[in-house]
Structure 1
Amino acid sequence: MDITFTTAGALIGLALSIFLIIKKIQPAYSLIIGALIGGLIGSGDLVGTVEVMITGAQGMMSSVIRILTSGILAGALIKTGAAEKIAEVIVAKLGEKRTIVSIAIATMVICMVGVFIDIAVITVAPIALAIGNKVHYNKGAILLAMIGGGKAGNIISPNPNTIAVSEGFHVNLTSLMAVNIVPAIGALIMTVILATILSKRSSGLEIHYPAGEENKSLPSLWAAIAGPVVVILLLALRPLFNIVIDPLIALPLGGLVSTIACGEIKKFPHYMEFGLTKVIGVSVLLIGTGTIAGIIKASALQGDVVSLLEMMHLPSFILAPIAGIVMGAATASTTAGATIASQTFSGVLLKEGIPAIFAGAMVHTGATVLDSLPHGSFFHATGGSVDMNIKNRMRLIPYEALIGLTSTILSIIWYLIFR
């Protein structure tokens, strides 16, 4: 059934979804309700609206399946202690004099090898707080270093957001990760600058670090990196030798190798189950995201936005980062924001002659600018990792936005140079 919804209906549906999320209604349900209401207001009948919603959700299935299997790698890295070991070694090697740099790089690497950004922050937090306590840094600086490092690693990782963008633009996952390396480095540098500035301020957020599990047994560094190395090598086979190993295969294999290398193969089923608990939420969210993306994609919004850009004499490629920024802010989620933006505007961007790899990269980086607003889970998960109240957590949002904006601007410059 060929249906075109009005722009007003699509926008009202999206606005309703945001309102419901802010009111603490479960995000997936909020998106489904917004899609339904938006479709009906946008001149669709009940049967047609539901069909478009289902079609949109079906378009998410390849991403959802890959994300579900990525949980095996994440579960293995977390439960074996591999992620913590990698972070510990990085912080130890760089030393207390480079506390901010070491914390940012540690979180970046943990996120980069396949641990979701909120889990990466939670994993690094005990180590970061311990060293921050020794050098008398405040929680704001420590948390910003972790978040900024996580943002840098997130845009070059085989995480749900990257998988969703690669699916939306039909580009190779490894290539999408590679094209954002320079933007990721820029985000890391900006993180270090801003967190260093914050560390010199007296904010009343001094760290009182409780005694932890200092004698916790962790694997060796070589065992810890075995799984991530296998994943990187398998994903690199396609651009290097045109041998296609799908993330659906590479990510679980990395988790299996990690478990074997750490000598905990008997616990692998338990780690798989744990990993599933970490990805089931984002997988369900993507199904809800697909319903609203279906309505927006079937609306006149795409054409209206292009017409608006032409009226303002703005280049068409600017739609990519703007879409990422707006949708990331709307959903307070890198994954949901990047997914909606990719599903909605990929066709228009490609039609305008923007290479898919650069369009995807700009959408992806744009989604990291305002993805940590208070109506999303990332805001609360990261604040809770350092026991920071909402008021103080909100003070970091402008700094986080600057970090995301840095990677977005560099992604645009990268496109302008190599288009």
Structure 2
Amino acid sequence: MTVASVNWIGALIGLALAIVLILKKLNPVYSLLLGTVVGAIVGGASLSQTLAIVVSGTQSVMGTVVRVLAAGVLAGVMMESGAANTIARTIVAKFGANLAIFSLALATMIITAVGVFIPVAVLIVAPIAIEAGSRMHISKLALLVALSGGGKAGNIISPNPNTIAAAHGFNIGLSQLMVADFIPALSGLAMAVFLATVLRHRGKIASLSDLENNSADQNTAHEEPSFASAIVAPALAVVLLLIDPIASILHITFLEKFQVDAMYILPLAAVVGMVAMGMSKKILMFTKAGLARMTDVVLILIGAGAIGGLITSSSLPVMIVSLIRSLGISGTFLAPISGILMAAATASTSTGVILATGSFGKTILAFGTSPLAAAVMVHTGATVIDHLPQGNYFHVTANAMNMDLKERMHSVPYEALVGLTMTVVGSLLYGFL
């Protein structure tokens, strides 16, 4: 089977149909696959050629799929062992009441950065935040901005599916992207703390009664590990992932040949962490839980690979390049804009990154943007409005803070400012300087 050249109108219709179906609550995987099939046929492909487009597109994401499954081992260990909760409580306790907002944002940032999904990170820290807020008379709005903003900052420097997808989508190392995103992440943390401080007396003040409705997704069936043992897995993962960039900077030939990859670094760090926490006998339970959490992401990756195959096999990328050049706009803007729009449409950082890289990655690079710069701008762009009501994150965090729909909506623009800050900083550092 040969992959056909699809008319750009068909590709655009297919992408639009997939997004509309996602907004209509159809399963994202089926939405993406259906959009691919309809777009290919409308664009002039035969049934056999449409199949070839779907197959080639899904094959292109298999490398990302393998790495995401590997990340599930670390995620399972951190979430199910109680390690993430231990780290969060220790950070908040060390900084004390005077720096409550900063410590809550930092704790959520670190928990997300070590491989915990951002909704789960917010769920873990939310009870601590509500308890602190009730004592210090801080509003729930301010607390959520601190938690969500800190989580967004941590999410762009984590070995989570969104970072893996951005790195693999532009063929760069995961550690390279994590390091490059560090300054944008710090800027996001600073903005989250600033906004939360300004908002600390706006809206309903947190009270202990809000804890009754909190449903933190954590395992309480066993004693939580000590901080020293809980930090082993994420610390080892970070150290091993940094071998390549450090070797390149210092020109250490031996280490440059080491060629570490998240595929085996993250599971290795997770296993060592389990041994350090004295939970090695629970490896089957933890890995099963981690795999279950990654299943939806993997399925969406397959669907996004299909729609990406449709876009790249069409004339749409050429049309976009021509349009941007005729308008005299810098093609660099396509990277953050594609991340912003795709994440907004799907209300998901991971899905937004996957769609943006798969659909517009080659077009972005065609403007002369380096792969690293493109990855940073798409990745940070996907954090701007990925928290809209059509997504799961919006509702999970609302429940965590015991907020109704109206209260939760008040936080949306402030969270967007955090993501926009990271996008602007990332774009300036790597796209325009």
TM-score category (smaller protein)? over 0.9
Q: CA deviation at 1:352?
A: 2.3
Q: CA deviation at 1:77?
A: 0.9
- The CA deviation string for residues 226-256 of structure 1, in whole angstroms up to 9 with x for no partner, is 0011111111122222121210101111111
- The CA deviation string for residues 270-318 of structure 1, in whole angstroms up to 9 with x for no partner, is 1111111111111111111111111122222212222222122111111
Q: Is the 8 A contact 1:334 1:367 kept in 2?
A: yes
Measure the CA separation in 2 of the matches of 1:210 and 1:143: 14
The RMSD of aligned alpha carbons is: 2.0
- Which residue pairs with 1:159 in the alignment? 160
- Which residue pairs with 1:315 in the alignment? 330
Q: TM-score, normalised by structure 1?
A: 0.95
- Does residue 1:220 correspond to 2:220, yes or no? no
- Which residue pairs with 1:274 in the alignment? 289
Q: CA deviation at 1:197?
A: 2.0
Q: Is the 8 A contact 1:87 1:106 kept in 2?
A: yes
Q: CA deviation at 1:215?
A: 12
Measure the CA separation in 2 of the matches of 1:28 and 1:217: 38
Measure the CA separation in 2 of the matches of 1:347 and 1:87: 40
- Which residue pairs with 2:250 in the alignment? none
Measure the CA separation in 2 of the matches of 1:123 and 1:261: 22
AA paired with 1:202?
A: G
Q: CA deviation at 1:214?
A: 10
- Which residue pairs with 2:41 in the alignment? 40
- Which residue pairs with 1:28 in the alignment? 29
Q: Is the 8 A contact 2:7 2:315 kept in 1?
A: yes
- Does residue 1:82 correspond to 2:83, yes or no? yes
Measure the CA separation in 1 of the matches of 2:208 and 2:407: 14
How many residue pairs align between the two structures? 418
Measure the CA separation in 1 of the matches of 2:75 and 2:372: 26
Compared CA separation, residues 111 and 210, structure 1 to 2 (3 A):
closer
Give the unaligned 5+ runs of structure 1.
none
Measure the CA separation in 2 of the matches of 1:323 and 1:186: 21
Q: Is the 8 A contact 1:136 1:207 kept in 2?
A: no
- Which residue pairs with 1:172 in the alignment? 173
- The CA deviation string for residues 83-129 of structure 1, in whole angstroms up to 9 with x for no partner, is 11111011111112222111110010011111111121122222222
Compared CA separation, residues 417 and 47, structure 1 to 2 (3 A):
closer
Give the unaligned 5+ runs of structure 2.
248-254
Q: Is the 8 A contact 1:138 1:207 kept in 2?
A: no
AA paired with 2:104?
A: I
Q: Is the 8 A contact 1:133 1:209 kept in 2?
A: no
Q: Is the 8 A contact 2:304 2:351 kept in 1?
A: yes
- Does residue 1:350 correspond to 2:356, yes or no? no
- Which residue pairs with 1:376 in the alignment? 391
- Does residue 1:327 correspond to 2:342, yes or no? yes
SS in 1 for 2:91: helix
Compared CA separation, residues 21 and 207, structure 1 to 2 (3 A):
farther
- Which residue pairs with 1:297 in the alignment? 312
Q: Is the 8 A contact 2:3 2:53 kept in 1?
A: no
- Which residue pairs with 2:241 in the alignment? 235
Q: Is the 8 A contact 2:304 2:355 kept in 1?
A: yes
Q: Is the 8 A contact 2:384 2:420 kept in 1?
A: yes
AA paired with 1:263?
A: G
Q: How does 1:102-113 map to 2 (within 5 A)?
A: 102-113=103-114
Compared CA separation, residues 325 and 144, structure 1 to 2 (3 A):
same
SS in 2 for 1:125: helix
Aligned pair partner of 1:286 in 290, 296, 301: 301
Compared CA separation, residues 193 and 376, structure 1 to 2 (3 A):
same
Q: TM-score, normalised by structure 2?
A: 0.92
Q: CA deviation at 1:216?
A: 7.5
SS in 1 for 2:45: coil
